[in-house]
Structures are given as structure tokens and as C-alpha cells.
Amino acid sequence: MTDPDHAPDLPPHADPAPEGTPLPVVRLRPKAEARAIRHGFPWVYADELVIDRRTRALAPGSFARLEDAERRPLALVTVNPASRIVARVMDRDPEAVIDRDWLAAKIARAEALRARLYPGPFYRLVHAEADGLPGVVIDRFGDAAVIQPNAAWAETHLAALAEALVAVTGVSVVVKNGAGRARSLEGLSEEVTLLRGALSGPVPVEMNGATYLADLTGGQKTGLFYDQRPNHAFAAGLARDARVLDVFSHVGGFALAALAGGAVSALAVDGSAPALELAAEGAARMGVADRFETRRGDAFATLEALAAEGACFDLVICDPPAFAPNRGALDAGLRAYERVARLAAPLVAPGGYLGLCSCSHAADLTAFRNASARGIGRGGRRAQLLHTGFAGPDHPMLPQLAETAYLKALFFRLDG
């Protein structure tokens, strides 16, 4: 992580695209579907755009005006010739100016929604294309915010984006989390940098009666998974007087929510010792440390070990990372989800509950549900599907883009 004392100062007036600068034009191929763009689809793939010498010469993150094959204007886009998603729609108005005021307006619109949804400023503030800022994720943690600039334009114009964020929200701490697969697909390097302010340690976050500790500079993603908030709440309702197992627990996700819901005990399993330490600290702050245990290890191996030990739980939750991050990994990913269900099901007491989650956008709900059901059956159990959950409303879905609705959570009651 970059030393905050040497972080670059953000300019007081940074415009990504100064007015008066003529923009290049990029054009769809004759057989490309212009109707999809007109109807709200936000991406143009490399095989849909005319990639000539001028287009190849555009710097990643440049702005351009998109036309259809008949030279009719469609939108203002950002272009990255090195990416499979070669153009992302910034504005339906081809004459729009993407400057600090434009960025601030998008952030203000996103903030107005979250302020209506939640009592405090702890939420996903910007959910990329669904909030009109392609490839940009911003999570807010009170007086701090973490930006994930996962598209080339956001990386190039990060200073202006951070300035607009501060102007709209008043946060004093801004972290850049430049890590993850999405950035590599854009040709961007990995980097975590404190852009503004200072952090004295993990940030406490209250959700569903539980206390989580979010490490904004060293944790996974932005430090906390806000998307599971409603699924934590549902699980907590099942957890009263229950023995709970939370696998792939991160900083205590379902386990701490279950303890807040009245669980008699909770065991959190994860491969990260720092994450489990934060989970334990959260339990201590909640006053439930005596009912909370952690176990570090590979999730599959730990599930097998618990079965060998004869362990039994009233509620088991498995929330793994994305096993199918793209279509090429779909078959292997579905087999992994099936294996999780097969190993977890025997650990559930008769009449108990099993929660299975997927954050793989390539595995749609039907495919994930079928894989889970197969795994439960192979684990020797019969099941009722009680509830299907999704990400919270601070992770809105763009109807035209399935990738924005990536999270699925299935809750089963097991018999036999």
C-alpha cells in the first residue's frame, strides 16, 4: 500500500474531458446490434466495433462518440482497444461532457437512493453500470470510502472521481482498491493506495445487529461484503437457538448475524487468518465471544473433517468465492458448487437448514439451483427450497446487463 504521507494531492479542478476538445468517432460493424445500445445495453464487444488504425491508436480510457453502421449517433462511450469490452456507454447523449460536474451528478443520484434505503452511511454507494458509472465500484464506510476503478477510464480519471466523491459525500478518507480480475481484463495493474486522509485500523460496521470489522486496505475486495446484508438477515431468522456453521466466513458474515439472531453457537471457517481475527474481534465487541469459534483451513477439507468428527449443526451456510467467474469456467464452477452442497448437507441436523450462495454471474439462478440440488441429493438428503435471496438494493440491477445481478442465495430445509 502506498504511504498516505506520499499520496498524490488531488487537483482542485480536474476535468476528464475538457470542453472544446473534439472527440473521436467509433463505429459499429454493419451486423452489430445497434438496437441493444438504444435499448440500454451498456457494452460494445471487440467483434462488434470497427477496429481500424485510428481506433487502435486511442489510449485506454479515452472518450469517443459511438455511431451505428449508418453513421447515426448512439452514445458517448469510453474506449479501451485492449479490452474484450472495447467500449462502455458513459452517456446516451453523444454530446455529453464527462467532467467533474457530470461525475458528481452520478454520485449524488446514487447517494440519494442509499440515503433513503439505509439509516447510516454504510453501503455500496456506486454499483458500476447499474449506477451509470461503468466499471466503478464505491463502498462507503461512514467517513471513509473505497473506490474500485475497474475500467481504464476510471483509472485514468481517478483524481476527478475522488474529488467528486468527496464533494458530494463529505468523506475525509478515500482508498483506491486496484485489485482483482476485472482490472487485469482491462490491462490495469494491481495497487491499493490511500488517496486521502488516514486510517487508524479496521472500521466497525453495524449490520443486522452484528458488528463487523472492515479492513479497507488489506482485506478482501473493499473490506466487507455489503451485498449479503438481506441474506444475513434471513439466516439470522433461522438461527434462533441453533448451532451454526459458517463456511467461507470472511470476517464473520453469516456467523455474527446468526449470533445476533440468537444462535447458541457459531463456528466460522475460512482460509484467511486475518479475516478470522477480525471476525473474533467483532464477536468480542458484540459480547458473544463465548459462543463464537473459528477454524482456519481449506473449506472442502474442513467440511470433510467435520463430517469425520461427527459434527452436526442446525444451520449451515456456505458462501464461497466465484467458482465460475466467466463462461469458460462454468462447468468446473458448477461442479464445485455441487461439491460444496454434497459435503455440507450431511452436516445438517434432521429438519435443519442449509444456505448455499453463489456470486458467479456466469452461473445463472437455474444452473446454480440445479447444481445445489444435485449436491444435496448426492449428500444423501432430501430438501425443500424455502427462500431465494439476492443482493441488497444498494446493489441495483441494470435489467439489460445480467452481470449486475450476480448474487444468489438458496436456503433449504433438509429432511432425513
pLDDT tens, 162-217?
A: 999 999 999 999 999 998 888 988 999 999 999 999 999 999 999 999 999 999 99
Q: Are residues 85 and 118 in the same domain?
A: no
Q: Are residues 175 and 34 in the same domain?
A: no
Of 312, 318, 357, 359, which one is the catalytic site residue? 359
Q: Give Cα 104 distance to the centre of its chain.
A: 22
Q: Are residues 235 and 381 in the same domain?
A: yes
pLDDT at 8: 35
pLDDT at 66: 98
Work out whether the CA dihedral 28, 33, 39, 42 comes out positive or negative.
negative
Residue 219 pLDDT grade (very low, low, confident, very high; cuts 50, 70, 90): confident
Q: How far apart are CA 212 and CA 346, in angstroms?
A: 29
Range of the structural domain that residue 83 is part of: 25-91
Flag whether pLDDT at 6 surpasses 90.
Answer: no
pLDDT tens per residue across span 8-66 = 333 333 344 445 568 999 999 998 989 999 999 999 999 999 999 999 999 999 999 99
Q: Are residues 128 and 56 in the same domain?
A: no
Flag whether pLDDT at 7 surpasses 70.
Answer: no
- The DSSP code sequence of 353-378 is EEEEEE--TTS-HHHHHHHHHHHHHH
Tell me, what DSSP letter sits at residue 223?
S
Q: What is the CATH number of the domain that holds 107?
A: 3.30.750.80
Q: How far is the first Cα of the chain from the last one, in angstroms, to the nearest whole number? A: 51
Q: Are residues 33 and 181 in the same domain?
A: no
Does the active-site annotation cover 359?
yes
pLDDT at 19: 52
Q: Are residues 214 and 192 in the same domain?
A: no
Query: In Å, what is the CA distance from 115 to each residue of 110, 111, 138, 166, 300?
Result: 9, 6, 15, 16, 40
Mean pLDDT of all residues belonging to the chain = 94
Query: In Å, what is the CA distance from 196 to each residue of 2, 149, 218, 258, 410?
Result: 11, 16, 16, 35, 40
pLDDT at 33: 87
Is position 330 within any domain? yes
Is position 5 within any domain? no
pTM across the whole model: 0.92
Domain boundary, last residue among 166, 196, 226: 196
Task: Name the domain count of the chain.
Answer: 3
- Which candidate, 131, 125, 219, places its Cα nearest to that of 180? 219
Q: Are residues 175 and 219 in the same domain?
A: no
pLDDT at 10: 37
Q: How far apart are CA 239 and CA 28, in angstroms?
A: 53
Is position 13 within any domain? no
Q: What is the CATH number of the domain that holds 379?
A: 3.40.50.150
Is position 350 within any domain? yes
Is position 232 within any domain? yes
Cell numbers that stand for 130 in this block = 447499474
Q: Are residues 213 and 339 in the same domain?
A: yes
Domain boundary, last residue among 196, 214, 233: 196
pLDDT at 21: 60
